[in-house]
Structure 1
Amino acid sequence: MRLPLLTVLFVLATGCQTAGQPDPAARSGAIAIGTVQGPTDRSPLAGQRVTVEGVVVGDFGKGFGGVFIQSRVDDGDPLTAEGLFLVQGGQPAVALAVGDHVRATGTVKELGPDGASLTALVEVEATVLARGLAMAPTVVAAAPVPEGWEAYEGMRLQIDAPLTVTGNDGLMRFGELFVSFDGRRFAPTERAAPGLEADALAQQNFHVMLRLDDGLSAQNPGEPWFLREPLSDERPLRTGSVITGATGVLDQRFGSHRLQLVAPLGQIAQAPRPAAPTVPGDRRIVGLNVLNLFNGDGRGGGFPTERGAARVQDHARQQAKLVATVQALDPDLLALMELENDGFGPDSAVAQFVAALNAAGPHADWRVVDAGEGPGEGSIRVGLAYRATRFQTVGAPATLLEPPFNRGSRAPVAQAFRAGNGPVFVVVANHFKSKGGCRPDAPAGDADQGDGQACFNATRVASSEALHAWLATDPTGTRPAGQLVIGDLNAHAQEDPLRALYARGWRDAFEVAGVEQPYSYVWAGLSARLDHALVDAGLAARLRGAAEWHNSADESERFGYGMDDDADPWRASDHDPVLLGLDLAR
């Protein structure tokens, strides 16, 4: 029985049944759906032809080419699910509707990969025994631990426990939300080094997380039908929002359990949009991933671009959102990632972005650090910009083009600065190789090891080691009093690339500043940092504060430049900016 964790109520038009009682409508030859499901994630009857009976509790003929049926009585085994998917195809011989009591014969098959498959019947022959049976959902009051979601596969559920939205990155593309029974969830390797402790955190996440889905297989379905009110600036459905009341059928598809919704969501307590943070210190430095800021040929042509805006109007909106972000944070220096690698002339993406900053105000003293050709040969690069009345450059910029920065990780750019009467210090903008895109021929260390660090971890570790060794040679030739490594390192805080830098004396600026639970990126329902700021001993003593502005990572793509006309900072990127305050002028 599931009573300790779930409140179960089956209401039939013909009366109530209790677990273990025979189904009065059962015919000889039919076996229990729980027998087909079995107590594990795969059916013990796979490949066999069986006959079952149940009531249709979810019609997904248009979305997935089939329906879910559920037993009218519980078999009393808490490990066996009472639901089953019937694959019918586009034009079934017998049309089935919710409430139909069905006798179905078919071949048992597991749909999907091992360990994440949906138990179903294929080649189905169905007969309707009765219509209009009102079957109430199983009411979920808590996360299904320890049984897990497998024990409820195919069943109609009503989740009354509050659900925290932990990720909305698939909302507009796939019509789905990541939710949790236990608040915001963090990537395990943000909190713990890869290994047993991180694995335990991953298991915790698995047990309390679920996806809410729209029941459709089409991509880019438009405004989500399951929202009672459309997305808007007043109701943005940010990560951190809390949903109370979700009804659907427990499905397993595309590698994960998900609740295929059959009714609009209940109440939603919207997570508020935060004001831009402030930090103490006489100078402010911001690290900002600009989400592939490409401007075509810089004269209104050259669209669609290789990685960024598809139209000149899209670029204008993208740039306006980024300008609004910088205005709100009011920094004195910018480290930029994902700039188009198109030089430093007046038609370049970085030059036009800085010109837009100066035109928008309130400051008109922004300047670009011209690193010459490149840096690097990839389509994107890093860059630096600064306010000339707040900082002075010292010497020329330096860049590293040796492996692994000749391909994979983007070439870093280092520039020495001075503020007022303060000491010379160096800022290094960085963008390490991403976590995605493993190739079959990837070297062993760059293949996904299944430890939470994803692809190309070896390349990122080599990038950390090469970066440290390079900076130790004083590449700017200025003998700085301190150095700052800032940018998108594409690794979480406790992964190998960061730990390699910690071991060499670099310190996490957010740890130095005492910031709890920082995050700059949300992916697959998990919050973590990809964007980091590391200080050496010289700058650690001058650090006064650190913050992230969650203007982007918690927002859905609905508010990005591709769908939103507003020149506001919301979803200006897919990464949140990093803000540091330091005393540098004395």
Structure 2
Amino acid sequence: MTGPVTGIPTIQGSGAASPLVGQGVTVRGVVTADYQTGLGGFYLQDAKGDNDPATSDGLFVFTGSAPQNVAPGDFVQFTGVVREYKASSDKKDDTATQLDTLSDFTKCGGGLALKPVEVKAPFNDLERYEGMLVTFPEKLTVTDNFSFGRYGELGLAAGGRLFTPTNGNVSTTAEQNDARRIILDDASSKQNPATLPYLDTNKTRRTGDSVTGLTGVLRYGNDAFKVEPTVAPTFVNENPRPERPKDVGGTLKVAGANVLNYFVTFGPNDRGANNAYEFGRQKAKVVAALKGLDADIVTLMEVQNNGDTALQDLVGGLNEAYGANTYAAIQTGVIGTDAIKVAMIYKPARVTPVGSPLVDDNADGVYSRPPLAQTFQDKGTGGVLTVVANHLKSKGSCPTSGDVDTGQGCWNQLRVQQAQKLLGFVDRLKTRSGDADVLLMGDFNAYGDEDPIKAIVAGGFVSENKRIPAEDRYSYQFGGLFGYLDHALASTNLDTQVTGITEWHINADEPTLIDYNVEFKNNPNCTSGNPAGSSCTSPDLYQPNAFRASDHDPVLIGLNLTRDEVRPALSVSAGGATSATAGQAYTLGISTNPTPDSLKVNWGDGSAEETLTPTATSATHTFAAAGAYTVTVTATAGTQTVTATLKITVNPVPTGAGKLVVSQVFGGGGNSGSVYKNDFIEVFNAGDAPVNLAGYSVQYASASGSAWQVTPLTDFNLAPGQYYLVQEAAGTGGTAALPTPDAAGTIAMAGAAGQVLLAEGTAAVTSKADANVRDYVAYSGLTSTTSASRANGGCTDTDANTDFAAGAVAPRNSGAALNVCPK
């Protein structure tokens, strides 16, 4: 070999970039690795080096579409151009030094072997080893497998897995974590590789597993240093799959499980599975996880908020897996406005719900997803506790200002507000149940040493997760860092009844590759790529088991509850007409269960609060002035206090007088030849003041009968000149429905003749001469196409038969045009 040769250390230089960028150089060295198939080049290293620790002795040689016939150990010389390479997707300014545009390539010998350079943590200055053959003598632990399926790479760490600095179980910083990281690559730049290295016999590679003596070439790419192995790594399965949760003891088990957007519909705005095929795979995993937990009470996060449809589907699948109706759902319907909600299921054979479920009020919009609470009694011990399912605001979707990430993820201030509001909810729950045992479960989107958890602990709760050994205290992996977002927080009174807790590591340790999704996987249902299916190359390692059922590990807690006396949840309701008249008596209906110790009503008009007998079912009051008032009924039993309200509009004393009459009667509805399907009675206000119809009724008897059938009218203010349509029974004929009725009954009226009256009261009259009868009409001679109508649209009232005439059927409801009668 002749001619000037530039040493590889000279090309690399001591800085981040080569001082010879763009220049042609002749180099000589030993091939340490041939990655032309996967990376488009090979690595070359100076046989002796320059003994300068600041400069690398190795270099990447890019051959691209003109590969060279080389093998590790070859001694070669050639000319090339120095480049600094940076991919378009890279975010950092750092580049990788390489040679390309090769010429005068000469192979001088072979069979040479270079000794790899030892590299130990901290990995703060790896630039000086770029392109060199290196070895890591210490044990490296898998701490990141998120990109394993997409890029064939694993994140490793010296000194064990990496924890989020705010998790609270180890003292670390972001800088210290970065100094312990290194990436193991698969010597390929292909995405979604068809063959994955590093899998174990279960076709996975869990975080927590380890490799010692990792040897290969150190490459810089995609904003990180990566080891491209020259010797196949030998992994130790230090973190084998836990087939079941660790024993938590106790006689009662409560779990919290994130079910990763369990959606039963697959529209463009739906989350979760993209189609029924993926959903079947998802459901199988979720059911396997919940069955493995086998808890007596389970709080669920990320259930589709479509009433209870998705929840019932999950319960049905779980019971099918058990072969019995083992679980039941706490029915809540839609909760809040988010696409997902929290939910709860339980074993009826083990616990009994006490009272109804309670969702905290979210009128102020503080909650992202309102919490759900349910009190239970253990059928074995008689102990009572209230379980609350929670899902606080996530750390993502960051704002550009305000509640930005200051070290605990975005929206930390909002999560603190949610935690503080939750504590107020807990106080009400304790009062409601009369029991101090409260267990907060769920995804709080806050790590163990972050402000929202500190606020809850300061409010009288104990973090039960801290019973778990520090090295095992995690439920979530993000960016190669571990921590627990999924919590079990017990009130101080309940803490003494806790027997154990575990985080079942079936999800956070597993690569996303094995989940239910088929994107990029070699599966007939995959459509990734353009054209569709062209990127479906990754192996489909899905199995219908519990592993990677979600991205969060479930939490399981054991309890030995002390016996409690169950206090029935107190309830109260208030009802009655929503309008009244000043100066006239108004009656409010009241219902309580069970009978309270005390019962009070505040009429909202400034009058003194009225104390009622605890068994009262009504209260009467006269409002002095017109206005809008909110009536509040308060019931108290022991430490429980509940209220009910009713808004009432009080009208001024009318200057005129209302006058109610029957304005039209039709009994031929549904008869042969009839246009309309139903009979009807029409009421009309012929006076000059409104009349509230609450407490009125229309009644019917046959032409010669004395037995009256009743249809009550509704709480409706009938204005002067306004009609009110009462629909009665339907026949088998007719082609058209009536206009929208204002009230409806089931009286089957005779078509030709009968009796109709309007009464102030809802009890059947004994005679048309009763004092509460306000109008009476006897009709005859009608057909299926005629009705009896009062003259002048209802305004004529001489108490004579001539007030009515048979004519075309023309029903009018309250929406019809007003016909105010002249004075």
Task: Name the TM-score class by shorter chain.
Answer: 0.7 to 0.9
Q: Structure 2 vs 1, CA of residues 79 and 469 (structure 1 numbering), >3 Å: closer, same or farther?
A: farther
Q: Structure 2 vs 1, CA of residues 242 and 425 (structure 1 numbering), >3 Å: closer, same or farther?
A: same
Give the 5 Å matches for 1:204-243. 204-224=176-196, 226-227=197-198, 231-233=200-202, 236-243=204-211
Task: Give 2:403's aligned residue.
Answer: 445
Q: Structure 2 vs 1, CA of residues 217 and 456 (structure 1 numbering), >3 Å: closer, same or farther?
A: farther
Is 2:77 aligned against 1:77? no
Match of 1:68 among 43, 60, 84: 43
Is 2:476 aligned against 1:535? no
Task: Give 1:579's aligned residue.
Answer: 556
Is 2:396 aligned against 1:396? no
Task: Give 2:260's aligned residue.
Answer: 291
- Higher strand content, 1 or 2: 2
Task: Give 1:419's aligned residue.
Answer: 378
Percent identical among aligned pairs is 32
Is the CA contact 2:121–2:158 (under 8 Å) kept in the aligned structure 1? no
Distance 2:238 2:330 in 1: 41
Is the CA contact 2:140–2:212 (under 8 Å) kept in the aligned structure 1? yes
Task: Give 2:369's aligned residue.
Answer: 410
Task: Give 1:17's aligned residue.
Answer: none
Distance 2:419 2:12 in 1: 49
Is the CA contact 2:91–2:223 (under 8 Å) kept in the aligned structure 1? no
Aligned-partner SS, 1:359: helix
Structure 1 residue 102, shift from structure 2 partner: 4.1
Aligned-partner SS, 1:477: helix
Distance 1:33 1:307 in 2: 53
Match of 1:258 among 216, 226, 229: 226
Q: Deviations over 1:61-80 (max 9, x none)?
A: 45444443322222212232
Structure 1 residue 426, shift from structure 2 partner: 2.2
Is 2:389 aligned against 1:429? yes
Distance 2:117 2:452 in 1: 41
Higher relative CO (Cα under 8 Å, sequence separation at least 6) belongs to 1
Q: Deviations over 1:527-580 (max 9, x none)?
A: 221211112212212211111111222222344334455432222222211000
CA RMSD of aligned residues (A): 3.2
Task: Give 1:143's aligned residue.
Answer: 120
Is 2:528 aligned against 1:570? no
Distance 2:362 2:77 in 1: 67
Q: Deviations over 1:94-129 (max 9, x none)?
A: 747444624444354362667672332476454423
Which consecutive residues of structure 1, in runs of 5 or more, have no partner in the other structure? 1-24, 297-301
Q: Structure 2 vs 1, CA of residues 214 and 512 (structure 1 numbering), >3 Å: closer, same or farther?
A: closer
Is the CA contact 1:57–1:135 (under 8 Å) kept in the aligned structure 2? no
Aligned-partner SS, 1:464: helix
Task: Give 1:49's aligned residue.
Answer: 23
Is the CA contact 2:357–2:372 (under 8 Å) kept in the aligned structure 1? no
Is the CA contact 2:47–2:114 (under 8 Å) kept in the aligned structure 1? no
Structure 1 residue 278, shift from structure 2 partner: 1.7
User: Which stretch of the first structure deviates more once superposed, 143-152 or 253-262?
Assistant: 143-152
Structure 1 residue 45, shift from structure 2 partner: 2.4
Is the CA contact 1:369–1:397 (under 8 Å) kept in the aligned structure 2? no
Distance 1:488 1:267 in 2: 33
Is 2:307 aligned against 1:340? no
The number of residues matched between the two structures is: 533
Task: Give 2:278's aligned residue.
Answer: 314
Distance 1:551 1:284 in 2: 18
Give the 5 Å matches for 1:118-137. 118-121=95-98, 124-130=101-107, 133-136=110-113
Aligned-partner SS, 1:411: coil
Is the CA contact 2:299–2:342 (under 8 Å) kept in the aligned structure 1? yes
Q: Deviations over 1:316-352 (max 9, x none)?
A: 23222222222222200011112122211xxx22111
Paired amino acid for 2:258: N
Aligned-partner SS, 1:410: coil
Distance 2:323 2:496 in 1: 31
Task: Give 1:157's aligned residue.
Answer: 134
Aligned-partner SS, 2:440: strand
Structure 1 residue 267, shift from structure 2 partner: 5.2
Give the 5 Å matches for 1:547-562. 547-562=502-517
Which consecutive residues of structure 2, in runs of 5 or more, have no partner in the other structure? 518-539, 564-823
Is the CA contact 2:117–2:133 (under 8 Å) kept in the aligned structure 1? no
Is the CA contact 1:395–1:478 (under 8 Å) kept in the aligned structure 2? no
Match of 1:522 among 450, 464, 477: 477
Is 2:115 aligned against 1:117? no
Aligned-partner SS, 1:129: strand
TM-score by length of 2: 0.59
Distance 1:36 1:444 in 2: 48
Q: Deviations over 1:30-64 (max 9, x none)?
A: 54333443445x22628563636244434444544
Task: Give 1:22's aligned residue.
Answer: none
Is the CA contact 1:354–1:366 (under 8 Å) kept in the aligned structure 2? yes
Task: Give 1:19's aligned residue.
Answer: none
Is the CA contact 1:435–1:457 (under 8 Å) kept in the aligned structure 2? yes
